[in-house]
Amino acid sequence: MKASLIIFAIGVFMAALDNGIITSSLTTLIYSFGVSPTWGAWTITLYTLGLAISVPIAGKLSDRYGRKLLFMIEVSLFGVGSLLVALSPNFTFFLIARLIQALGGGGIFIIASSYVLATFPRERHGRSLGMLGGMNGIASVLGPNIGSFILGATGNWHWLFLINVPIAVILLLLGGRFIKEKQEYSRAKMDWSGISVLILGVLSLMYSFTNLDGVNLVDSLISWKFYVFFLAAILLLVIFYLMEKRLQHSDTEPVVPVQLLHQSTYRWTLLIAFFSGAILASVIFLPGFVEQYLNVSSTVAGYWFTPVALAAGIGAAGGGFLVDKKGPTWTIALASSLGIIGFLLFALWVQSIWQMVIAGVFVGIGFGSMLGAPVNVLVTEEAGEKNKGIAVATSSLSRQMAMAIAPTIFAGFLARSFMNIGSHIKQGFADSGIQVPADAMQKFAPQGGAAGSGDFHSLLEGFRSIPDVGVRGVLMHALHVTVKQGYNGLFWSALVFSALSLISALILGAIRRKKASKPEGSRA
Distance of CA 470 to the CA centre of its chain: 43
What three-state secondary structure class fits 249? coil
Ranges 181-185, 320-324, 384-388, most confident: 320-324
Confidence (pTM):
0.83
Percent of the chain topping pLDDT 70: 90
Superfamily for domain range 257-524: MFS general substrate transporter like domains (1.20.1250.20)
d(C-alpha 422, C-alpha 482), whole Å: 10
Does the pLDDT value for residue 448 go beyond 50? no
pLDDT tens track for 147-195: 777 877 887 888 889 989 999 999 999 988 888 877 666 666 777 888 8
Sequence ranges of the domains in the chain: 1-181, 257-524
Please indicate whether residue 452 or residue 355 has the higher confidence score (pLDDT): 355
List, in sequence order, the alpha helices (H) in 155-186: 159-162, 164-178
Whether the CB-CB separation of 206 and 49 falls below 8 Å is answered with yes
Whether the CB-CB separation of 329 and 508 falls below 8 Å is answered with yes
Query: Binning pLDDT at 50, 70 and 90, where does residue 43 land?
Result: confident
d(C-alpha 214, C-alpha 410), whole Å: 7
Distance of CA 419 to the CA centre of its chain: 27
d(C-alpha 480, C-alpha 233), whole Å: 41
Bridge partners of 435, per DSSP, are: none
d(C-alpha 75, C-alpha 179), whole Å: 14
Q: How far is CA 151 from CA 84, 455, 502, in A?
A: 18, 24, 40
Query: Binning pLDDT at 50, 70 and 90, where does residue 74 land?
Result: very high
Cα torsion at 341, 344, 346, 351 (round to 10°)? -110
Q: What was the pLDDT predicted at 336?
A: 96
Does the pLDDT value for residue 333 go beyond 50? yes
Q: What was the pLDDT predicted at 258?
A: 77
d(C-alpha 31, C-alpha 13), whole Å: 28
Query: Binning pLDDT at 50, 70 and 90, where does residue 366 land?
Result: very high
Least confident among 51-65, 109-123, 263-277, 400-414: 51-65
- Decide if 1-181 and 257-524 have a common fold: yes
Question: What sign does the CA torsion over 242, 248, 250, 253 have?
Answer: positive
pLDDT tens track for 398-434: 888 888 788 888 888 888 888 778 788 888 888 887 7
Does the pLDDT value for residue 313 go beyond 80? yes
Q: How far is CA 108 from CA 58, 440, 522, in A?
A: 8, 57, 38
Does the pLDDT value for residue 95 go beyond 70? yes
Query: Binning pLDDT at 50, 70 and 90, where does residue 341 land?
Result: very high
Level-2 CATH architecture, domain 1-181: Up-down Bundle (1.20)
Q: End-to-end CA distance of the chain: give it in Å, rounded.
A: 34
Query: Binning pLDDT at 50, 70 and 90, where does residue 474 land?
Result: confident
